[in-house]
Every structure is written in C-alpha cells, then in structure tokens.
Structure 1
Amino acid sequence: MGAPVTCLLLLLHLTAGTSAEPHYVVVSAAELYHPHTGTVSVHLGDLNETVRVSVRLERGDGPSAITLLEREVREPRLHENVRFQVPAPSGGQQEVAELHVSIRGDALQFSERKKVLLRALQPGTFVQTDKAVYKPGQTVKFRIVSLDKDFVPSTRKLPLVTVQDPSGNRIAQWRDVTPQQGIVDLSLPLSAEPALGTYGIEAQGTRHSFSVEEYVLPKFKVTLELPPVVTVLDETLLLRVCGRYTYGKPVLGRVQAILCLEEQQAYPWYGARCTELTGQTDSNGCFSTEVEMAPFNLTHSGYEMSLQALAFLMEEGTGVKLTVTKSCDIVSEIAMVTFEDADKTYKAGIPYTGKMLLKAAGGSALKNEKLQLFVSSGDENKNQTFLTDESGRASFELDTSGWTGWVTLRGHFKQVNDSAEHDRVSPSYWDDERYLKPFYSKSQSFLKIRWLGGRLPCDQAQQLQVDYVIAREALGNGSRSLEFIFLVSPSLGD
C-alpha cells in the first residue's frame, strides 16, 4: 500500500477573448499533511494565446517556497495533476502557507493566492483492556501499541506506563518497556478488596479507563415490547414479553401482563380502563399477543394519551419472578407527507423534480397509497395523483414553462374530519408544503446536477443527469463549444 495522498484541487476557467479575470477559481482541501504526498490538479480552458503558468506553495520564509508547476502552455486547454512531497511545518506542528497561482500572456495577466494549512501527522499511542469492568480479585489484561507517522507499529521503548486508582494514586508502573512486534502486553492482578470506581492507565500521554465494581448479574432478565406509538384508529396492539438468561438461553415460565389507560386528573370519575393478559413463554422464551383496542376507546378525550403496561415473568420450577414496565404513546396523527430531494428554487423551462414520502405515525413507510400534489402558480392551480412505491415514496416531475414568481407545492394524503364531537380526539393527516422561488443569476444561466440518491459506490461508473440553460451572452463571441467540468471529491469522514 502506498503512502496516503492529500489532494489539493485547483480549478481555473478562462474565457477566450478576455484579458483579465477568469470566470472562477476553486481551491479545495485546505489542509496538507506532512510527510505524505500532496496532489495539485490544474485545469485551464478556452485559452486563445500562449501563456506561462506558475503554481507555487509559498511559506513565511520566501527561500523555502516550492514550485509545483512551471510551464508554457500553447494548447487551448490544460489538465494536469502534479504530485509533491508535503513539507514539514516550520513551527513544528502546523504552519499557514499560501498557494500562489500566476498566469501570464500577452493579453492575459492573472494572479491569485489561497491559504492552506500544513499540518504534521503525529504518532499515536493506543491502550486497550480485555474488559471494561472487572470484579475484585480479577486480573486486568491490557495492550499498548504506538504508531509512527506512517501508521506502522513502533518498536521504540515506552519510558513509563502507570496505573492509577480512583483516588489518583499510582498503584503500578513499568519503566522502559520494549514492545514485541510493536505491541506491549501487560497485566495487573486486582486485590480481593480493591478500591471501587474508575482506574486509569497512562502511556505516552494517552489515558485509558476501566472500572472495578462489585456487581452481581441477575439470573435472567425480562423485556417488554410495545410499538413506538399507537394511533387513535389502531384496532390492535402487539404486546410481547421475553425472558432470557444472562448466558443467552430462553426462559420458560408463566407471564402475567396488565395494560391500562389512565384517566386525566380533570376527569377522575372516568376510572382507568385495563385489560389483563396471561400466557406461557414459547421455546424462544417469549409470550406474544394481539390486544384489542376497542375496550380502551382511544378517541375519548378524557384519558391520558399513553398506555401503561406492567408484566411479570415467573420462572418455571423455581418460582422466581421478575417485573418490567413500559409505556406507549397514543397519537392522533395517523400519517404525514414530507417532500424529499425537492429544491427551494426552480428555473422556468427546466423540469422540476422531487419526491413525496408517506410515513405512518410509528415511522414505517406506507406503500401503495395515493398521494395528491397541489401546485399553485399565480392564478393557476393544478393537482396530480401519485401512488407510493415499496419505500413509501412517489417521484414527480413538473412542467415549469408557465411558472412565474413564487410557486407553492402541497403534498396531501387524506382529508381531516372536522365534524368530530367536543369530547373526542380527531385523527389527523399532516400535509407538507414547499414554497419555491424562481432561480436568479446575473448571467441568466442555470445548471443543476440531479441527485443520484444514497451513498455512491467507489468501484462503479455513475450516469449523471444535468439540466442547464446557458445564455448566449455568457458564451462570448465566436464560441463553438461548451465544456462542462465535474469535480468529484469524497465527503469528510469517508
């Protein structure tokens, strides 16, 4: 594997017939890492004369400037990648330098400076324990690895490794420890009655923590599962109680559960509505049942907007019983529509594209449902009907040739019933609106790359769809071709 490369992208575009400024200058990747290799990508276009191009990395002390590119260009365009070794910062850790670009010709005189940061990569030390929590009397086993500037394990001795107790007292230390194949293996036996709390291991300025606790694991644990939310229109609710031993085996036993809807404090005479459920866990250690919602009358406004559940699991043969509780919110919002991949501007004459997403209150996508899209532009109102796909989405493409001024889009699923009684909770369906303004540019030109969606694989070619309008005045006199330049760079953290 080669050394990592820092990419510094420089893009200049010069229009034929001009004598001074380029249309644009882009410099990205503002940090260069020593001692890795850097790359400068230079692109010039539409040159109508011979020019001399110079790209220099200049630092505080002038004599140490690095010439990255120095050449005479006779062709109408130039596209070249220049690799160079990133210099060490003069300040030790980092240094601010300048990238100086100069283009000289008979009619063209151009100079531009951009700041970049030179940063020195420092070796790192990592400490890892075999567990995060220890009991008294156990042995703490840990490893230390130091990486050099090229991320290779270092064989240099560690001058000092220490362990501190929760009070900060040094209870163990190792001096001049020599790594074996780049790794140091150490251990520390804990006493039968050590201080409880958080301990620290320190090496080469790096600290790693572990805990010592007197803990007793329960023989088994019980979980109670309810849906994230239940709507006022839901007819059933799935309740699931599971028991599992700490080593993973399912628990066989009897389950008793109570599901209640409590009255609001303002209506104490209503009384709580409850249902009791009993059953036996199956071979997976779980008991599941569909609970009918009709007895709870979820649309009545005199009750709290949440269901409370209490469950017991009694282990078969021992009678050991564990209890678990959980609640589930009741919502009146049944579903909602939201716009996705829909710009806030439009260009008249260029199709406007986007998506509508339909989700249920619990977050699940609703497929094969009809959505309406209302479009208002001036005095003109139109609507179209779309069907959601497996992901709950409906894609649309709108003709903008007649659009002027502000345009309103509204995604709609179902109509709300406004005739509900005063003591009833009415179900609702949330629409989404998007207000679009016409795209403006001084040149009257427009360019949009349609979103491909999701994460793009690195090992596959992608087909881009571009919508554009280029004003004749922006092309200049005598232009016979139009050149598009795509600059692709990875996102930070990828």
Structure 2
Amino acid sequence: MDPQKDSIGQWKDVEARQGIADLSFELMPEPIEGSYIIEVKKFRRTLRHEFTVERHFLPQYEITLEFPEIITFLQEKIQVKVCARYINGYPVSGFVNGKIMFKINDLFEHFLVAGNLSNGCSKMEILIQPFNLYSRKCAAFFEITDAGTGNLLEKSAECKIVKKITKMAFEDVEQYYKTGIPYRGQIRMQYSTGGPVSNVTIYLFNSMVPGAEKVITDENGIASFSLDTSSWGSESVSLSAMYQFNNKDLWRPLPIHGKARHTAKLFYSRSNSYFSISKHRQELVCDSELDVNVDYIIKALSAQEKHDLDVFYLVMSRGLIVTLKKKTISVGGSEGTKGHLRLSLLINADISPVARLLVFTVLPDGETIGDSAKFQVSKCFRNKVSLHFSVAEDLPKSHVSLDVHAAPDSLCGLRVVDRSVPTPQT
C-alpha cells in the first residue's frame, strides 16, 4: 500500500523455495513520498513491514571528524582529525576552520584552529592544558571549504571531561566458588579514554584473607588471578581491586581512580564434591580441536578404597545435543580425592556460534554433581561461499562483474549498496 493506503501490487499463492520467497516490485518514476506498507498473510497471521520514499539531495562531499568522546582533566593535549571526500571517494582540496569550546557554568572558553587539507585530511594536535578542564562538557565545530567550488560543509562533535582517569572491572569471574578448587578470574584496567593501562600493580583484597595480593596488568590492561579457596568456609567472599597513585604535583587535586568489587557465594554440594571447567576466553576457530581441562574434588567416596566413576559430558548448540560421551576416572585410594581430566572438543559448524559444555556424574549415594561452560565459536558454515568484484577500482560506467562461488545447489542472497549514494539512514 502507498502512503494514501491504496493497494499498488499483489501476489497470490506464492510458493517459497527453501523457505524463502524472492519478489520484487518496481515503483513509478516519480512515486508518492511517504511510508509504504508491505503485508504478508498466511492463514490467520499477518506480518507488516514499512519502508519510506523521500527526496534526498546528495552532498558533493562529506566530512568525517575524529574527536575524543572523553577527556580527562589531567590531559595536556588532544588529537583531532578532519577529513573530506567527494562521494566518489576522491579527497577534497581546501581548507578547514574550527572552534573548540569548554563550558564552565554558563560561560564558554573558545579555542580557534585553522589549516589546509592534505590528501583530503587535516590532523591537529591541540594543547588544552591552558584551559579550565574542571568543566564537564566540551564541543567542537569544524567547517571545510572546497577550494575549487567554494562550497562549505560543517561537522560537529561533543565530549565529556571527567575526573576519573581510570576504570576497573572484574571479568570472567563466577558468581559462586567451590571450596578446594582455585577461584580464577581477570581484572581489566582502562583509561577513561578507552586505552589499556599496562604494566601497573593492582591490589586485590579478599575478605577471607588479611592483606592484599599484588597482580600486574599485561599490555592489554588485564591482570589474571587465581585464589586458593581451601580456607574460605561457607560465607560469601568479597573481592575488591584498587590502584595506588602517587601525585607529584601538589598544586593539582588528586585524580580519581576507579575501583572494582565482586562478591562470590559458596556453591552448595551435600558432600562438598565439585567439578570445575576451565574457561576459554577467546573465540574458537572453525575446523579446529580444543582441549578442555576439568578439575574435580570427590569426597563422597572412601579415600582408602579405589573407585571407578563414570563422568558424562555433552555439548549443546542451538538447543540440540551435538555430542554425548563419557569418561571413566579413578578416585579414592592412592589417587586421592582431587584430580583433573581432559576433554577434546571438535569445533565445527554443528556447534556454531555458541556451544555449551555440561560435565556431570552421579555419585553412589545418588548425589549429582556437575559444571557447565559456554564457548563462543566463530561463524562456521557447511557451505563455503566467496564473493569479490572483478576489479577493485574502475572508471564510471565501466562494466564490472561480481563473482560468487559456492557449493552446488546453494541458495545465495546478494545485497549491493552504492556507497557513493549516502542516505539519511546510513
């Protein structure tokens, strides 16, 4: 239906191919502007979709502005980059004028910048130390003038000024701990501007143990830890992380560093027997194999006698059980009550994009113990497909072919977008 609610096209008794119906309708050369409605009816169910037809005038070129979203009040300078390109991708020759404003109460401090475009871009390093950065907001306004036509386009951006120069968070930590099995996790430390804080010491406090444990961040701002839970008892455990900072400039107020907190509760087991699956944080690659370590503590069996125990593990993905296998372990006797086993998982399209592993066993007294873990898997497809243009760049009105390669009888969908024709939605 068109914006005037008139029906302008209809299909009846449409048959789908592999669950997909591909239909097209050509609008008139000068269609009515407004919202159009597509209705699909099957039995008593009706689906609706709207699209909009509107007149859009293309700009001769567009501007991109790289301006920091967050500035800390200790920063001395910022990097700004302004670029302009024609809709065909070629750089604009011209010059740029800009204004950066820092808001203090109801007043603004201005800073003016200007420069020429080099290969369509202008990079600037702006000193901001002379300004009062105790304000909370700043804004930037830039305009570029095309040297050939004199046409002018503008671009603006806003940023926040924060006193908290770093932030911290616990990652990959469980909500529950299991007595006797190490409690593992990570602490991520970042600057408020987004970059990692590397090679610094973080103090990790544990409510069950006096003092603090020192952990050091790597080049990605991540510090890993492993805590002994043998003496944690049955109470909830509070973890807190903080970073110590010594301020040498006494005339400046101390900056604020973020802290992180986390609480873990005891995982209940009648016999204090547990499984614990080691987590794998990276996305798994298709057509590979992953070895998963599983720690266990079995206390429901006599330590003087040796017992064989069947351990089952299954892999689920998209609501289906993909793998169900078992392994036999020996517990008790000279083997003791602690140990670990290794499971091998095949990474393929059957478990993409998310796989869940469940490990469990039933003890002789009827108690069931287990653990589960989720793994992110890269997008795997049984049918491989490739797509490329015959040439990477060509002149206007040249003939360019699009090559698609896929397995026989594959149903392929294509969407081609002219990047030189930006729309309000893109």
Q: TM-score, normalised by structure 1?
A: 0.57
**Whole-Å Cα distance in 2 between the matches of residues 308 and 416 of structure 1?**
31
| Matched-pair contact (CA < 8 Å) for 2:81–2:122 | yes
Q: 2:130 aligns with which of 295, 298, 302?
A: 295
1:410 counterpart residue number: 240
Any residues of structure 2 matched to 1:156-171 within 5 Å, and which?
164-171=1-8
Q: Is the 8 A contact 1:416 1:429 kept in 2?
A: no
Structure-to-structure mapping, 1:356-435, within 5 angstroms: 356-377=187-208, 380-404=209-233, 405-415=235-245, 426-435=254-263
Q: Do the aligned partners of 2:9 and 2:25 also contact (CA within 8 Å) in 1?
A: no
Amino acid at match of 1:453: R
Instruction: Specify which of 267, 274, 279 is matched with residue 439 of structure 1.
Output: 267
- For 2:17 and 2:308, how far apart are their aligned partners in 1? 64
Matched, 1:487 2:314: yes
The change in CA–CA distance for 1:478 and 1:362 in structure 2 (over 3 A counts) is: same
Tell me which amino acid in the other structure corresponds to 2:88.
Answer: Y
Indicate which of 286, 292, 299 corresponds to 2:121.
286
Q: Which residue among 44, 48, 54 is the counterpart of 1:213? A: 54
Distance 1:256 1:403, change over 3 A: same
Q: 1:332 and 2:171 equivalent?
A: no
1:199 paired with 2:40, answer no
Amino acid at match of 1:463: D
**Alpha-carbon shift at residue 365 of structure 1 (Å):** 2.1
Task: State the match for 1:258 in structure 2.
Answer: 99
Q: Structure 2 CA distance, aligned partners of 1:248 and 1:235?
A: 35
Q: State how far apart, in whole Å, the 1-side matches of 2:225 and 2:305 are.
A: 39
Instruction: Tell me if 1:190 matches 2:18.
Output: no
Tell me the secondary structure at the aligned position of residue 289 of structure 2: coil
**Cα shift at 1:479:** 6.8
- Which residues of structure 2 form unaligned runs of 5+? 320-351, 354-426
**Matches of 1:468 and 1:178 in 2, distance apart?**
55
Q: State the 1:432 CA deviation.
A: 0.9
- How far, CA to CA, are the matches of 1:180 and 1:481 in structure 2? 53
CA contact (8 A) 2:69 2:158 kept: no
Alpha-carbon distance in structure 2 between the residues aligned to 1:254 and 1:293: 23
Could you tell me how far apart the structure 2 residues matched to 1:224 and 1:359 are? 24
Whether 1:346 and 2:346 are equivalent positions in the alignment is: no
1:198 deviates by 2.0
Instruction: Using the aligned pairs only, state the percent identity.
Output: 32
- How much has 1:202 moved relative to structure 2? 4.6
- CA separation of 1:409/1:281 partners in 2, compared to 1, >3 Å: closer, same or farther? same
Taking a change above 3 Å as real, the CA distance of residues 444 and 174 of structure 1, as seen in their structure-2 partners, is closer
Partner of 1:272: 108
Confirm or deny: 8 A CA contact 1:354 1:396 kept in the other structure.
Answer: yes
Cα distance between partner residues in 1 of 2:139 and 2:80: 12
Q: Please name the residue that 2:406 is paired with.
A: none
Residue of structure 1 in register with 2:151 after alignment: 320
What does the per-residue CA deviation read over 1:278-312, in whole Å, with 9 as the maximum and x for residues that have no partner? 101111x11110111211131x4xxx311111111
Encode CA deviations 1:62-105: one digit per residue, 9 max, x unaligned. xxxxxxxxxxxxxxxxxxxxxxxxxxxxxxxxxxxxxxxxxxxx
The answer as to whether partners of 1:416 and 1:427 remain within 8 angstroms in 2 is no
Q: Distance in 2 between matches of 1:183 and 1:430?
A: 53
Partner of 1:225: 66
TM-score, normalised to structure 2's length? 0.66
Q: Using the alignment, how far apart are the partners of 2:139 and 2:172 within structure 1?
A: 39
Amino acid of the residue matched to residue 260 of structure 2?
D
In structure 1, C-alpha distance between the alignment counterparts of 2:286 and 2:304, rounded to whole Å: 40
How far is the alpha carbon of 1:349 from its aligned partner? 2.7
- Hey, what's the Cα distance between the residues in 1 that align with 2:278 and 2:101? 51
Q: CA deviation at 1:217?
A: 1.2
- Report deviation, 1:454: 3.2
Deviation at 1:358, TM superposition (A): 0.8
- Separation of aligned partners in 2, 1:445 and 1:487: 20
Q: Distance in 2 between matches of 1:391 and 1:217?
A: 42
Distance in 2 (alpha carbons) for counterparts of 1:276 and 1:307: 14
